[in-house]
Amino acid sequence: MASNPESFSAVPGKVEGMAEFVGRPCSVAVGREYTVVATKPYIGPSEDQVEAARVEEAARVAAIAKQYEAEERKEELREALIERLQRSRCIEYLNSHHPLCNQCPIAGVCPGFQRDEIDPQLCQQCLHIKQSHNGQHRESNKAMGLDELQVLLERLHVTDDDLDLYIPDDELLIESRK
């Protein structure tokens, strides 16, 4: 007989060795030094089937995650292409309608040619003649991102009616194949 008072606890809890049983308990017999649990026959998948189901579920979850990542990458590439095309349109518009001044020594003084209300041959910003405005914005200048170009267009009072930045899907398909 066990005389250790710590071997018994009145607090309900898990019984050692019962974590691995299969089948539902149908009867419990308790004695001074033993506990007997009778279980019903187990009806369900075998351990191999459970493990195979876990592996299959893990593979399915991994495939779904991979699909989401591929879709996110595709969307990021699409957004980058749209931004590049919009940036190209902005630069093309600025070069044709608001060329840079070659005489202004400080960049940013003259954002581009704007007709003066009094003398249309002069630039409203720097008061140089129109012929001195033949500088071009460059595609290779990565410092001028789309956001900076849009700020410049706002400064030049270019509205959405003047410049359409919408890129149709068919143009995206053509550009993505290049």
Contact call for residues 116 and 127 (beta carbons, < 8 A): yes
Say what the pLDDT of residue 17 is. Answer: 60
pLDDT of residue 72: 97
Q: Is residue 170 part of a domain?
A: yes
According to the model, what pLDDT value does residue 1 have?
A: 44
Residue-range definition of the domain harbouring residue 82: 47-99+136-177
Residue 156, domain member (yes or no): yes
- Give the Cα separation of 91 and 140 in Å (integer): 11
Q: What is the pTM for the complete model shown?
A: 0.64
d(CA 142, CA 119): 35
Q: What is the pLDDT of residue 21?
A: 58
CB 44 within 8 A of CB 22: yes
Q: What is the reported pLDDT for 15?
A: 62
| 150 belongs to a structural domain | yes
Angle value at C-alpha 51, between 39 and 53, nearest 5 degrees: 105
Structural domain includes residue 62: yes
Q: How many domains does the chain have?
A: 1
Whether residue 14 is contained in a domain is answered as no
CA 145 to centroid of chain Cα atoms: 19
Q: What are phi and psi of 143, to 5 degrees?
A: -70, -25
Whether 26 is covered by a domain: the verdict is no
Condensed to tens digits (0 to 9), the pLDDT of residues 70-111 reads 999 999 999 999 999 999 999 999 888 888 888 887 666 788
Q: Which pLDDT value is given to residue 74?
A: 93
Give the H or E element holding residue 28. Answer: strand 25-30
Q: Which segments of the chain have a pLDDT < 50?
A: 1
Instruction: Answer yes or no: is 30 within a domain.
Output: no
